[in-house]
């Protein structure tokens, strides 16, 4: 049955962490929420107590364009082929020395974190365009400001997401699509907490942010999109400094934070 009145949001990586917190936030706000994750059983488990029919669950590997297209199309078909908001949240992380991480894992990080964003954005484009005004929010990271030792592939992937955000913000504004990102430092979610190793930068800066604090900034991006939004006052100050300081200064700061 079509429901053309509700605002809609499609969220990847929605079974845990920031994705789940965002899904619950917008679910409570009355949005129709499409929740996609590679782990469908976990999606079903975490939504057991959700009492209305304002959500749909999809088993999706974001690196598989056919799976992505099928899920996004099915969700939007219920809403006059329109989509209000896309949250590209799915991401993976492997911490460790670059040479100690398998080539397969490096490639998987780039597939999920970069190709995944490309796939979902491309699949969602017709439905975002059909809406009079729509928004894409990409999850970038503080690690997109300067390459982070022991998070090299992850950091590189977030540089790519940041660049894609900036390009599409200019390309797609003519279609009424606002493209923006959210840039948190380290967040206390399972993606970080279940890592076998820690990075020196993380040990020094700490993992202090909650998923709900990130969702508060995501909500700001929905209401008033800005190309880049940081999370936390401390990182906001560092990010502002990185925008005005020479690359050499950024390198020295990262070298200091990642020292033995």
Between CA 160 and CA 141 the distance in angstroms is: 11
Please report, for residues 60, 64, 73, 93, the alpha-carbon distance to residue 67 in angstroms, rounded to integers and kept in the order given: 6, 6, 10, 22
What is the enclosing helix (H) or strand (E) of 55? Answer: strand 55-59
Confidence of residue 250 (pLDDT cuts 50, 70, 90): low
For 175-198, the pLDDT digits (tens) are 999 999 999 875 445 565 565 666
For 198-233, the pLDDT digits (tens) are 655 655 555 578 899 999 999 999 999 999 998 865
What local confidence, expressed as pLDDT, does residue 246 receive? Answer: 55
Tokens describing residue 160: 């790519």
Q: Establish whether 146 is a catalytic residue.
A: no
Tokens describing residue 34: 């499409």
Closest to 14 (Cα-Cα) out of 91, 84, 77, 74: 91
What is the enclosing helix (H) or strand (E) of 68? Answer: helix 65-77
| Largest interatomic CA distance in the chain | 59
Q: Is the dihedral of CA 8, 12, 14, 20 positive or negative?
A: negative
Ordered domains of the chain (ranges, CATH) = 8-257 (3.40.50.720)
Contacts of 138 (CB under 8 A, 6+ apart): 88, 117, 161, 164, 165, 179, 180, 181, 182
For residue 239, pLDDT over 70 is answered with no
For 53-92, the pLDDT digits (tens) are 999 999 999 999 999 999 999 999 999 999 999 999 999 9
Catalytic residue among 24, 31, 146, 154: 154
| pTM for this predicted structure | 0.86
């Amino acid at each position: 049955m079509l429901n053309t009145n509700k605002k809609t949001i499609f969220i990847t990586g929605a079974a845990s962490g920031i994705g789940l917190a965002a899904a619950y936030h917008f679910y409570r706000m009355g949005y129709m929420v499409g929740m996609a994750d590679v782990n469908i059983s976990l999606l079903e488990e975490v939504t057991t107590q959700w009492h209305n029919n304002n959500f749909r669950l999809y088993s999706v590997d974001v690196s598989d364009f056919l799976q992505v297209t099928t899920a996004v199309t099915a969700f939007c078909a219920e809403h006059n082929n329109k989509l209000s908001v896309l949250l590209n949240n799915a991401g993976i992380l492997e911490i460790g020395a670059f040479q100690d991480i398998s080539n397969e894992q490096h490639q998987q990080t780039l597939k999920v974190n970069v190709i995944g964003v490309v796939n979902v954005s491309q699949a969602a484009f017709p439905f975002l365009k059909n809406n009079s005004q729509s928004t894409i929010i990409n999850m970038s990271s503080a690690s997109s400001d300067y390459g982070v030792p022991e998070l090299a592939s992850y950091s590189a992937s977030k540089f790519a997401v940041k660049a894609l955000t900036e390009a599409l913000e200019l390309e797609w504004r003519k279609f009424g699509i606002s493209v923006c990102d959210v840039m948190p430092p380290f967040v206390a979610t399972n993606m970080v907490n279940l890592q076998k190793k820690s990075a020196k930068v993380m040990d020094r800066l700490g993992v202090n942010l909650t998923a709900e604090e990130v969702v508060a900034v995501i909500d700001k991006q929905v209401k008033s999109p800005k190309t880049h939004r940081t999370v936390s006052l401390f990182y906001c100050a560092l990010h502002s400094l990185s925008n005005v300081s020479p690359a050499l200064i950024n390198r020295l700061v990262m070298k200091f934070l990642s020292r033995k």
